[in-house]
Chains A and B, each alone.
Chain A
Amino acid sequence: MKAPDLIRNTIALGAFLALIDYPPDGMKKIIADGFARKGEAVVNQNISALETGFSFVQSNYGNFIRKRLPEENGPARLFLTGNEALSLGAIRAGCKLLAAYPMTPSSPILHYLASKEQEYNIVVKHTEDEIAAMNMAIGANFAGVRAMTCTSGGGFSLMVEALSLAGQSETPVVAVVGQRTGPSTGQPTHTGQGELQFLISASQGEFPRIIIAPGDAAETFRETFNAFNLAEKFQVPVLILTDKYLAESYTDWPELKNDDLKVDRGKLLTEEQLSAEKDYRRYQITPDGISPRSVPSQKNGIHVATSYEHDESGWYQEDPAGVKKMYDKRFAKMPFILKEMKEPKLYGPDEAQITLLAWGSTKGPALEAMERLANEGITANLVHLTYLWPLPVEALSGLIESAQQTLMIEGNHNGQLAQVIRQETGIKIDHILTKYDGQPFYPADICVKVKEIL
């Protein structure tokens, strides 16, 4: 039987294993299991192809062989995508409703949660459009259920009016925005980081919001959990900013620790607490700007949540002093939100010739670049931001000011975070490396740029 062209893949796999000096036996078992239903002939053909590739490299390219992976089988590890980690974080947080319209790269969240909806009693609704999706996520939260939506930049554009509704009505909501390359349809199946400033400023009027951009799958899991806590605690929209690279790349992890995660529903009132209320006011002005919240079905908590400017009871507010008071009430949350924004994390040595800055999924390539540079005798460290808005100004300024020189690495054209940092702190980042061709950063991109600078 003549081998099909497709068998080249298996030969290449064998060659690859030889290059990293990894015993081929485990792979042979994977091949045997994977091709079992195609019959013994196909299994044998592939195993022999694997051996061919393996021995070809061993006999011809001995100089290139390097030990790169430990041989021993360690404890079993998790192998999953950012989207899957995000979905698990949402389930763990008690998300009970997902309303979404399919859009790359966030559709797998819709698929995963839909596959689990009966196991965890979650309602997953594929809506008629993203406008409905965001309004449903808000409606469910209003009714006392943790709910979210997921989309990409184009879908988020349709959600913006409702995002502002969440801001004005102080309804908690979580929305995932998976970035790809824009503008417009752009490159739908490629990655990018071009939507940070869009998320910061998307609204009619102003209101507090939180933006979190996890750096890897493990962070995505925990930060999605946190997003639900923050949304309810501060009664604000929380936006999780991912991208195609993070959302759909597989990485492996020893575990996703979650025993320590505690659901915090903030000032959600119980029936008992409400029964003591004489004059419940949904938008009561409080020192931290957060008003105790009731939900429909609670006897003493009847109120109207509204998109209009309102007084403490929810009734229309047109008195200028009253309007200002309510605006200030919502923004009174900001210092309390800031306290919960995790500080940027410093990786590598405290002192370095150059300090790299990156956000979201650029963490991985930046860390690898840092190692490669160290091997070449260049000391670099990395300031990575996961909590982007409100910008953790104090900690960030300290880190930047103590750096010898700084390089911001961003997957967009304008250097959006660098601009935001300058806007918020007055600090100008020394150098910027941008990429907007649809590809994630490669460590080599970063190393080349660093050497150019030094």
Chain B
Amino acid sequence: MATPLELKTEHNPSWCLGCGNYGILSGLKAAISQAGLEPHLTVLVSGIGCSGKDPHFFKTYGFEGIHGRVLPVATAIRLANHRLKVIGCAGDGDAYGIGGNHFLHTMRRNVEITYLVHDNQIYGLTTGQTSPTSIKGFATKSTPFGVIEEPVNPVSLAIAAGATFAARAFVGEFNHFKQVLVQALQHKGFALVDILQPCVTFNYLNTYQWFSQRVYKLEDESGYKPPDRMQAFSRAQEWGERIPIGVFFQETKPTYEDQLPQIKERPLAEQNISSVDIKKSLAEFI
């Protein structure tokens, strides 16, 4: 394991001052440290967007792929070597827009990936177009007359699609956010954390202040129990004057990897391939 300081690399982000990503950076370092992860056994996988830069700021293995494809790469890394902890970093466009298909299918597979979606409801890197989570009516460069469609509801989607851990956090509530991250990292299965992370440059609507006035913690609500799917689903519908944060849903189920006898003894990456004997299979063609 490593301390947050030991996880730091020589590089510094070039995000805008005040960007929610800074909070994610320090929160994730603290959470990785607190969860006791070994740097050489941890892989951060990212796509393209402001969040895509994340792996460069962690002294762990990293794969910075292409837009929308975090989950297939992350899945394959887990299938290749399930001794590795795999953390996916994506933005709302990457995860819920272009990568929507992978999002849906990776959740129903329950591959053990901690999926951290940096959700600022706008495309920041490409300078301010609408995103799948932009609120209806929101005017952006690509929707100057306001967004016509309804936003995606990531937590509801996750619960419906079979995610075994579905949470929402707000970087402005730093300690709570960090705690949710640790829980997500410790979850044995697919864990979505939809992270509300204001874009200070292009999202004039969903600001720190906007969120601070609205968010409340699920665990402060008496009687809220994460394993109740129906309760979680109805709570996930709430978005407006009050926005719930915390772990909406969590259940224990075998992961995809758990169900592969091929890797029971050892990960694929540790299997000897120097001289695979195919005589038996060849004989089947005689």
Residues of A within 8 A of B (CB): 76-80, 84, 88, 91-94, 96-97, 99, 116-123, 125, 127-129, 131-133, 135-140, 142-147, 161-162, 165, 169, 255-256, 258, 263, 295-299, 301-308, 314-316
Contacts and interface: CB of A to CB of B under 8 A. Distances in A.
Given A135-B73, A162-B66, A144 B81 contact: yes
Given A146-B273, A302-B60, A307-B66, A136 B75 contact: yes
A302 B39 CA distance: 8
B72 A165 contact: no
B204 to A, nearest CB: 29
Given A77-B286, A128-B105, A131-B72, A263 B273 contact: yes
Contacts of B261: 118
Contact of A99 (B76, B271, B276, B278): B76
B73 A315 contact: no
B263 interface: yes
Given A123-B79, A140-B76, A296 B64 contact: no
Contact of A132 (B72, B77, B273, B278): B72
A88 B76 contact: no
B104 to A, nearest CB: 8
From B48, B73, B102, B105, residue with most partner A Cβ within 10 Å:
B73
Contacts of A84: 285
Given A94-B273, A135-B76, A296-B40, A145 B268 contact: yes
B65 interface: yes
B128 to A, nearest CB: 22
A165 B56 CA distance: 17
A303 B76 contact: no
A128 B101 contact: yes
Contacts of A91: 276, 278, 281
Contacts of B278: 88, 91-92, 258
A94 B72 contact: no
Nearest to B279: A258
B230 interface: no
Given A96-B273, A145-B268, A302 B59 contact: yes
B80 A140 contact: yes
Contact of A120 (B65, B81, B263, B276): B276
28 contacts: A76-B286, A79-B286, A84-B285, A88-B281, A93-B276, A97-B79, A118-B262, A119-B280, A120-B276, A121-B271, A123-B268, A128-B102, A131-B69, A131-B102, A136-B75, A139-B74, A140-B79, A143-B81, A147-B76, A147-B80, A169-B65, A263-B273, A263-B274, A296-B43, A297-B81, A297-B83, A304-B56, A304-B64
B84 interface: yes
B55 interface: yes
Nearest to A125: B79
Nearest to B271: A121
Interface residues of B, number: 52
B126 interface: no
A138 B282 contact: no
B17 interface: no
From A117, A122, A139, A315, residue with most partner B Cβ within 10 Å:
A139
Contact of B76 (A92, A121, A137, A263): A137
Given A119-B281, A297-B40, 8 more contacts: A84-B285, A97-B76, A131-B72, A136-B79, A296-B40, A297-B83, A307-B64, A314-B62
A127 B274 CA distance: 28
A161 B48 CA distance: 13
Interface in B231-286: 260-263, 268-269, 271, 273-276, 278, 280-282, 285-286
A53 B263 CA distance: 55
A315 B56 contact: yes
B77 A296 contact: yes
B125 interface: no
A316 B278 CA distance: 44
A132 B40 CA distance: 25
Contacts of A94: 273-274, 276
Interface in B4-21: 11
Interface string B76-119: 11011101100000000000000001101100000000000000
A129 B104 CA distance: 12
B65 A304 contact: no
A118 B63 CA distance: 29
A120 B66 CA distance: 31
Contact of B41 (A77, A78, A297): A297
B80 A161 contact: no
A317 to B, nearest CB: 12
B77 A139 contact: yes
Contacts of B101: 128-129, 131-132
A96 to B, nearest CB: 4
Contacts of B63: 139, 142, 169, 304-306
A288 B44 CA distance: 30
A140 B75 CA distance: 9
A303 B263 CA distance: 25
B208 interface: no
B22 interface: no
A136 B55 contact: no
B276 A136 contact: no
A305 B81 contact: no
Nearest to A296: B61
B268 A96 contact: yes
Contact of A302 (B48, B61, B102, B276): B61
